[in-house]
Structures are given as structure tokens and as C-alpha cells.
Amino acid sequence: MRIGIIGGGQLGRMLAWAGLPLGMEFSFIDPSPGAPAGQLGHLIVAPFEDRAAMFDLAQNVDVVTYEFENVPTPLLREVAAARPVMPAPEVLEASQDRVAEKSLFQALGIPATRHAALDREEELDFALDQTGLPAILKTRRFGYDGRGQVPIFERDEANAAFRSLADAPGGLILESRVRFEREISIVSCRDRTGSVVFYPPGENTHQDGILRSSRAPVRDQSLVHQAEDYARRILEHFDYVGVLAVEFFVVEGALIANEMAPRVHNSGHWSIEACATSQFENHLRALAGLPLGSTRMRGEALLVNAVGRLPSASATLALPDVHLHDYRKAPRSGRKVGHVTALAETRDELETLAPGLFELVPFER
Ligand code: AMP
């Protein structure tokens, strides 16, 4: 089975890492000649808008998937006419635009944050009336890792916030700032026959809008059921094939969806060591028409992202059952360059280890 992956970042790298034992071959398209996935397959160096390069990728594989979300969907639809693209381009279309994404959530009965779309500064007052304060102004498209987001606490900050983002292509969205108790996410996977598996949800922390840590499993069964129910609605709506992640805010024991990602997700990286089958392997199994594997956990897991710089390998690996992932990316502030996953038999053991791990793993913004 030949898998074509749009994007050659760490997600592509970890997908290939999971698929090589199954005899799969990988090709990637990425604008960077040093893309992290390049070591594990054939890398086509080209921008994602390059039609000829995209068809070159598609024509030499059996199935196309993506690990990067800002792919032009009209081009992806063209590719889908030539080769199966999974998940389908319409899923990506919904996830690329925060307004479309929230409309989808609402249409499926999934609670979402109060929000208003806006293109012009004169619309700010109306939008603020919809959301109240505090609020967060975001770009509708192309935001990641907290980029393209400005908090607004007082009405008189709104115009400056608008002007700082006004040039963003695709317009803006104003959202109420949710006073959440926790953030959780669920990684799910659906195969070609409609079978679905769920990973235990993880509880996530963010720093400056960047995922810093994920702890799993979340034990609150009511939250687990809500998360599974909402993810299943999205999977079934799209007749989805592959991995889907959904991020939620927890408010008074109920979930409010923040966003979804139609791909393997950072908050599921602990599944590599902590689960019988990782999110990466299950994504590939789904694409290849193979049975999905068990998501059973073999312990308590804590993932900590290395942002800006990697931790010392010798210090990290001196800890028992702690695993280091180096994405082979040049260090740069604000950039995810690797992660560490710690496993323990009990939550208490994990929490004893946690402070040392956070100290060890850099976060440089
Ligand atoms: P996002 O790019 O939308 O996932 O935002 C990154 C992080 O910023 C989230 O995981 C939250 O920690 C925070 N955030 C984003 N939107 C909101 C919101 N409407 N209310 C509160 N926190 C938010």
C-alpha cells in the first residue's frame, strides 16, 4: 500500500513511522526540503498550491491523506477525482474556517462558543453584542498554535484588536471567552466499514495558545460519553474515514466544542507508547481498509511538548518509562520541535514525576 501524505511535518513523520512495519510506503509533499518526514519516504518539495506536484504525488500512491490543514480544498477536490482522499475534502473545508466549523457543530447539536463573523470594523459593536466580554478575536482561517488571536477584555480595546488582524485573508471571528474548568480532547477513528474506535480523552493544558501537555485518561465518565457522542456525530455526518480529533472546553461538567482537526492530533501523541495501537497506526489502518486496532491504554500517560528547543536526551531518558521524540526540526522559539511521553502505573506516580518533567522540557515562546 502506497500512502501519499500532504505535509511532511512531524505528523507525517510519525505516520510513516507507524506504517513502515505494515509494509506501507510513503510519499510526502512539503515546501521545505528539510521536512521532518523526508527521512522516511519520498519527499516532493513543492508548495501545497502546486497542481502538478500534487498530481505527481497522487498518481504514484493508492490513497492520499493530509497532515497539514491549510491545503487549498478546490485542488484537493480535483485530486480526489483521481485518487481516494481521506478524510474527504469537505471535512477539511469545514475545519479550515472557524465559522463553518461552528455552524457544523451547531447543525449536529454539538454545543459551541457564542460567536460572530465579521469583515469590517463597523461590525465590531454588533459582534460584541453577540459575544459579550471578555472575548477573543481570531482569524477565521490559517490560525495555529495561538497565532492570529487577540483577547479583548474591554470594549475600548476592540478597535485596536481588529486593526491588528484586519489584513487576514478570509475575515475574522469574535468568540466569547469561555471560563472553562478544564480542556479535554478526544481522538477517534472510523474505518471504511463504519466501525469506530475512541481513544480515552486527554486533559490538555495550553501556554500562549500552544499545547503544552496532555494527560490521559480522563476518568469522568460523563465527559467521556459526551466527547464520544459528539465525535461520533461528526464521523457519521461525513461518512468519515481516518482519525478525527475534537477539542472541548469543560464548563460545569458539560462540553463545549472548540475545534476539530481532521487528522492525527498532538493531544494524541501519547498513544504511541501508551496504547495497544497508536492514533497513527489506526489512521493508516482505516485508509488501507484494514481492521482498526485496540485503543486500550497500558498505563497513565503524560505528554509534554518541547517548544523552541529540545530537552537534554540524557536527562530525559534517565527517567523510567519516559520517551523522547525529536522531530528533527531546527530550534526556533514558538515551534514544536519534539515531545516527551511519560508512562506510569498510577496517576499518583505520574503526578510525582510531572513537575520534574515540566522543568526538563523547554517551552520557549
Ligand atoms: P484554538 O486555536 O482555537 O484551539 O485556541 C488555542 C487555545 O486558546 C485553546 O485551547 C484555549 O486554551 C484558548 N482559547 C481559544 N478560544 C477560546 C475561547 N473562546 N475561550 C477561552 N479560551 C480559548
Query: What's the whole-model pTM score?
Result: 0.97
- DSSP per residue, 229-254: HHHHHHHHHTT--EEEEEEEEEETTE
Phi, psi angles (nearest 5°) of residue 40: -110, 10
Q: Where are the domains of the chain?
A: 2-85, 114-176, 182-360
Task: Check if the beta carbon of residue 262 is closer than 8 Å to that of residue 37.
Answer: no
Asked whether 209 lines ligand 1 (CB < 6 A), one says: yes
Instruction: List the CATH code of the domain at 182-360.
Output: 3.30.470.20
Average pLDDT, integer, range 67-93? 97
Asked whether 175 lines ligand 1 (CB < 6 A), one says: yes
pLDDT band at 147 (very low <50, low <70, confident <90, very high): confident
Ligand 1, atom 8, lies closest to the CA of: 209
Amino acid at position 354, single letter: A
Reported as a single tens digit per residue, the pLDDT across 222-255 is 999 999 999 999 999 999 999 999 999 999 999 9
Asked whether 214 lines ligand 1 (CB < 6 A), one says: no
Average pLDDT, integer, range 181-194? 98
Phi, psi angles (nearest 5°) of residue 144: -160, 155
Ligand 1, atom 11, lies closest to the CA of: 209
Which of 176, 183, 258 for mutating ligand 1's site (highest number of atoms within 8 Å of CB)?
258
Q: Which fold has domain 2-85?
A: Rossmann fold (3.40.50)
pLDDT averaged over every residue in the chain: 97
Query: Is domain 114-176 classified as CATH 3.40.50.300?
Result: no
CA of 97 to the centre of ligand 1 (A): 15
Reported as a single tens digit per residue, the pLDDT across 88-124 is 999 999 999 999 999 999 999 999 999 999 999 999 9
Reported as a single tens digit per residue, the pLDDT across 255-267 is 999 999 999 999 9
CA of 258 to the centre of ligand 1 (A): 7
Which of 15-24, 83-92, 136-145 is predicted least confidently? 136-145
pLDDT band at 146 (very low <50, low <70, confident <90, very high): confident
Ligand 1, atom 1, lies closest to the CA of: 146
